[in-house]
Structure formats: C-alpha cells, structure tokens
Chains A and B, each alone.
Chain A
Amino acid sequence: MAVYDIEADGLRGLNAALQQLAGTTPNEPWEVVNPRGSHAIAVGLDAPLDVTIKGPTGYYCAGMNKQATIRVAGSVGPGVAENMMSGTVIVEGDASQYAGATGHGGLLVIKGNASSRCGISMKGIDIVVHGSIGHMSAFMAQAGNLVVCGDAGDALGDSLYEARLFVRGSVKGLGADCVEKEMRPEHLELLADLLERGECDAKPEEFRRYGSARKLYHFNIDNAY
C-alpha cells in the first residue's frame, strides 16, 4: 500500500502522482492521510486506482474521476465527484452542496446526508445517498439515477430532463415539471442493483419514483412572461 501524507508532502504531489498513473493498471492501493479539509484531493484520475482518503476533505474532492475507486473516510465539502465520468466515489460521512454535479457516469455513494443541489445537472451519473438531501437537488438533471434513502428537500427535480429520482422518505416539495411516476418492475430491478452497489440494505419497494412531466421541453406561450 502506498501511503501519502498531504500535510507533509503537499497536495500537488499527490495529484501529480495519481494522475501520472493514467492509462496504467496499478495494483497497489493508495491511502491518503491528513487531508484536513484540503481542496481538490484526488482529482482528474484516469486509471482503475483504489484510493482511500482518511479524514474530511474540502471542495471538489474526486472531481473529474475516470475509472478510479475513491473512498473518503470522513465528510466532504462542496462539489464532491463533480463531473465524474466513470468509476466509484464513496463518502462515509456527509457531503456539502452540489455533490455529483454534472456527472456523466460512474457511481457516487454518500453514506451520510448530502446538502443542497445534490446531482445538479447530472448527465448520466448514479448517486446513492443513504441519508437525506437538501433543496434544489437534481435541478436540470438530464440523465442517470438519484437514489435517496432519507428525505428530499424543497424543489426536487426542478426543470428535470430524463434523470430518474427515487426517494424513500418524504419530499418537501417538487420543482417545476417534476412529478411522481409509477414504479414499474424494471425500475424496481434497477433500484435493487443501485442499492446493492451503493452498499445500502434498503428495499426497492419502499421507494417512490419521480421524473419529468416533459412539459418544459417545448416552448409554451403560457410560460412566457
């Protein structure tokens, strides 16, 4: 195991070392110690790396991830796994705002709560939150799946495109053009897979599904001011 101490050896050295492995198939797992809330830890990786960060991180942890599995043994600041392309990011604690924003692929698991704007403009990423999420989550979400085992805040799925939203608890309010939809067998199957991969033992039958009413897709004169 490669152990990297951010406090002793600096953030740039870590990202340079991890990014240098792009295109390789490394066997050795990495452990990152003393993150102490630093920003942009383990960003821009492009190899099937196994990285564990031992403690809380700041802004933009695991951003732009491709292929790597990044686990944070702590909480994360704003913008975790922003614009992830593939791979897996697992947060053992809570996530601050816009977790998984604009993600194109891969899986983001948050074992605590996520705050506002979780999955904003998601474009294919799967997000599984064991706790609750804040307001304006999945705003303009285009593709992918957002699974919330707890409650969702206000204006869930505002101006939603084709992302699927699954919430087990209460929803404080749905955003414009977001509606509850029928849970069909294929959704239960999809959800079962996401929950399993998300290390979560909740039952698919306990969730409700929300999606786009598709009323904002085309210009409607009644919506003009």
Chain B
Amino acid sequence: MCGIVGLFLKDPSLEPRMGEMLTGMLVTMTDRGPDSAGVAIYGAGRDGEAKLTVQSDTPDDVFPTLAETLSARLGMPVRLSRNDTHAVLHLGAAHVAEARAALREVANLRIMSDGDRIEIYKEVGLPRDVAARFDLPAMAGTHGIGHTRMATESAVTTEGAHPFSTGADQCLVHNGSLANHNALRRKLRRDAVRIESENDTEVGAAYITWKMQQGASLGEALESALEDLDGFFTFVVGTKDGFGVVRDPIACKPAVMAETDQYVAFGSEYRALVNLPGIDAARVWEPEPATVYFWSH
C-alpha cells in the first residue's frame, strides 16, 4: 500500500498555494504510506537555465563547495540553493549532461532530477516531517505530484522513496508492486540503462525512460508499460506541462480524480481531496483501468 496525490492547476491564482495544497493532500495519505514521502514540484523556470536537484546524506560536507567545484569544472557560473538534505543547482541548460557526469564523481551525492522546472524532494520519515523539513507548504508551482510510501519490494531508504526521475522534467510515482522487475532490470542493464537500487518502481521508471530514448512519446511509453510490466500499478507521471495517470488492467490499486474550473486533482482516496477549494461541486470519478490519461497546459 502507498498513497499518491497529484494536483494540476488551471487557475494561475492558485499557483502560490500549490505547496500548501499538495502538502495537505500528502499528509492525509500518511495512513497509506508512513515510512517515506516525496514530491515533485513544477515551479517557475528561467530561459536558458536548467535545474538539477541533488541530495546528500552528508549535506554539510558536500554542499558548501559543490557550486564552486561544478562551476570550475563546467567553466560557467553555477548557483546552488540548499534546502535541508537537498539542493537545487541552477546552470546553463546546454550543460546538463556534462554536469550530471561531473556530479556522479562526487561522493555522497545523488541526482534526484533535472529539467527546466522540476524539483524533486524525498526522504525517509513521516510525510508531515518530510514536508516540514523542506518547507513544502511555501513552494509555488503550476503542478505537482506526491507519494507516501509503505515499502514492500525494497528497503526504506531515500533512493527507494518516490518520485523517480524518468528524464528531463519527468518523474513517476507508483502504488503497487511489479512482479517482473528483476527480469526487466537485467534486460535494461544489458541495454546500458542505469538502475541504482533494487526497487521495483525504479525499474518501471527506467523502463519508461528507455522507451522514450528509443523514440516513444510519454503516452506511447505508458501504453507499452501496460504490455511489458507485470504486476499491480497505479502510476502518476509528472511532465513539464502537466501530469498523466495510468492503472494496470486489473486496477486493484485505488484512484480518485476530481476536476473543477480551477484544477485537476488525483488522490489514492477521496480523503486526500477533501480540503481542496470547491471540492463539493467538483466532478469526481475513478479513472478506468488500462487507460492513459493526460492533462497539460
């Protein structure tokens, strides 16, 4: 069991409240996943600039010199904004691949995401505590997804928490368990796809990344996931412009959606949605199995 929440705003006046609304939804889903929590928030970007979110278990050692080291390596200015165990590195959009390669050599550092707008924050702990340490309620954005984890397939660690990055400005969260992740991990690794943990969802995320590297659109990659992934899943994927939802054909993992003129919201349960503005008048429905849904700006 895990909890998923997602919020896609149609009404820009709600953007300053994105973090606050998403945090409320996330904390309500604590019962479904009390061991770790994470969010992907799509905030404002700057032209020509990319954001790399990184995490460290020893941030006091790693972060103070990181921007300087990376800047020297890339020969261009790099700005670092730290947020607890995470930091966002702002750098020229053309240098992301080079920066990722350089960051892989830094000890005690993990890359959470890269893109023009995405930032991923995830840690072990109660969702309320994770939200507080990153001050999630203060974050603004156009859309965001969140996950509360109850681990079944691998250890309770930061790497095992969701969301998982699936490419620039893209991420995935999962409720369920994949049965064929070991076989699929071996297959993807043979194709030189990088998979860091023993977690089943990371394999799902890597699979989608791999499909898209072969030329599939995100929608097409999700359609093929329905064929190639064996197991239970409700996936919510974040993209630069919006989010998507897909459930496996059996669809045991719960999902509720709500739509008003102001937003589209996703929750594993209706409880996650009850504090959203105008929810009483929202159109509320359960997404169909084996059907890919997308909302984008």
Q: State whether these chains interact.
A: yes
Residues of A within 8 A of B (CB): 36-38, 56, 58-59, 75, 77-78, 93-94, 96-97, 115-116, 134-136
From known contacts A77-B254, A78-B254, infer whether A96 and B286 are also in contact, taking CB-CB under 8 Å: yes
- Measured CA separation A38–B251 after assembly (Å): 21
Can you add 18 more A-B contacts, CB < 8 Å, to A77-B270, A136-B250? A36-B271, A37-B269, A37-B270, A37-B271, A37-B273, A38-B271, A58-B269, A59-B269, A77-B254, A77-B269, A93-B284, A94-B285, A97-B254, A115-B251, A116-B250, A134-B251, A134-B289, A135-B249
CB contact between A116 and one of B251, B270, B273, B274 (< 8 Å): that residue: B251
A82 CA / B284 CA spacing, docked (Å): 22
Set of chain B residues within 8 Å of A96, measured between Cβ atoms: 254, 256, 286
Taking a contact as CB atoms closer than 8 A, the residue among A77, A94, A97 that contacts B252 in the complex is: A97
Number of interface residues of B (CB under 8 A): 17
Please give the distance in Å from A109's CB to the nearest CB on chain B: 19
Q: List 9 A-B pairs, minimum CB-CB distance, nearest first.
A: A37-B271, A37-B270, A36-B274, A115-B286, A56-B270, A58-B269, A37-B274, A116-B251, A58-B271
Beta-carbon contact of B271 and A135 below 8 Å: no
Q: Are the C-beta atoms of A135 and B270 separated by less than 8 Å?
A: no
How many Å lie between the Cα of A96 and that of B247 in the bound state? 14
CB distance from A193 to the nearest CB of B (A): 30
* Chain B residues engaging chain A, CB cutoff 8 angstroms: 249-252, 254, 256, 269-274, 284-286, 288-289
A78-B270 Cα distance, complex, nearest whole Å: 11
Give every chain A residue within 8 A of B284 (Cβ-Cβ): 56, 75, 93-94
- Is B251's CB under 8 angstroms from A97's CB? yes
Specify the main secondary structure of chain A where it touches its partner.
loop
Complex contacts, A136 vs chain B, CB 8 Å: 250
Report yes or no: B289 in contact with A58, Cβ–Cβ below 8 A: no
Cβ-defined contact, A116 with B289, below 8 A: yes
Most chain B beta-carbon neighbours within 10 Å: one of A36, A37, A135 = A37
Output the least CB separation between A187 and chain B (Å): 31
In this complex, what residue of B is CB-closest to A98?
B252
Cβ-defined contact, A58 with B270, below 8 A = yes
Residues of B within 8 A of A135 (CB): 249, 251, 289
Residues of A within 8 A of B286 (CB): 94, 96, 115
Residues of chain A contacted by B252 (CB below 8 angstroms): 97
The answer for the CA separation of A37 and B29 in the assembled complex, in Å, is 12
Closest chain A residue, CB of each to CB of B286: A115
CA gap between A38 and B269 in the complex, in Å: 10
Q: Which residues of chain B come closer than 8 Å to A37, judged between CB atoms? A: 269-274
Q: Which residue of A lies closest to B272 (CB)?
A: A37
Distance of A59 Cα from B252 Cα, bound (Å): 13
Q: Which of B250, B269, B274, B286: most chain A Cβ within 10 A?
A: B286
Q: What distance in Å separates the Cβ of A125 from its nearest Cβ neighbour in chain B?
A: 21
